[in-house]
Amino acid sequence: MAKKAKRARAIDLYSGVGGWSLGLRLAGIEVVASYELWGPANETNFKNNSHQAQTVDIRRLSLDDLPSDIDIVVGSPPCTQFSFSNRGGGGDLEDGLEDIVRFLTIVDHLKPRMWAMENVPRVSKIIEKELEPGGVLAGFAHLGCATHVVDMAEYGIPQRRRRCIAGNFDLDLLKSFKSADDTPTWVRWSQRSQPTR
């Protein structure tokens, strides 16, 4: 009898309502733990994914409390301090970087095969700058972090939604999921809602 292939194991940091976890679960990946500070988001995550996220401040989460043998780490650290919607981009970047440092500290500790972090587009340039020698993230340069800004409308989301995706994942694999139709989804949806003549 053939040996059953082991399912990939993932954790979801700053898991919010569970978008990463839902996608991973649908791909057949076992999400063994999710972590999020905001309780109402965890309730929605439970409804989306039927697993309980831990209500915890990830900045204070002990590395010893993390599960072992993790293949994938994903997450969406808070974007509030980076977003131009927050005081015209005048958020506290130093505070926002604390969450990115914590995310990368966990990645460095668990040493997964693959990791990805999502945030607002502005974070792409911030990460690139801070990975340089002397930057706040310079100690994580060995993680192979690459940043990409993608428009999620090209992947089926019915709106323009540009996001920074940073990590060590295969960008060509991500691009292979783009819609074959070059028309952004939000345009196709708006055309459907136009009255016919």
Q: What's the pLDDT tens digit per position in 82-112?
A: 998 866 678 999 999 999 999 999 999 999 9
Residues 6+ apart with CB under 8 A from 156: 179, 185
Domains in the chain (CATH in brackets) are 9-192 (3.40.50.150)
Comparing CA positions, the residue from 151, 147, 131 lying closest to residue 139 is 131
Q: Of 168 and 180, which is predicted with more confidence?
A: 168
Separation CA 105–CA 109 (nearest Å): 6
pTM above 0.85, yes or no: yes
Residue 172 has pLDDT above 80, yes or no: yes
Name residue, tokens 């969450």.
Answer: 99
Residues 6+ apart with CB under 8 A from 16: 36, 38, 41, 45, 76
Residue 195 has pLDDT above 60, yes or no: no
Angle at 43 between CA 37 and CA 48, to 5 degrees: 115
Beta partners for residue 75, in sequence order: 13, 117
Residue 27: alpha-carbon gap to chain centroid: 16
Residue 187 has pLDDT above 70, yes or no: no
Residue 109 is given by DSSP the state H
pLDDT digits (tens, 9 = 90+) for 127-153: 999 999 999 999 999 999 999 999 998
Q: Residue 153: what pLDDT? A: 87
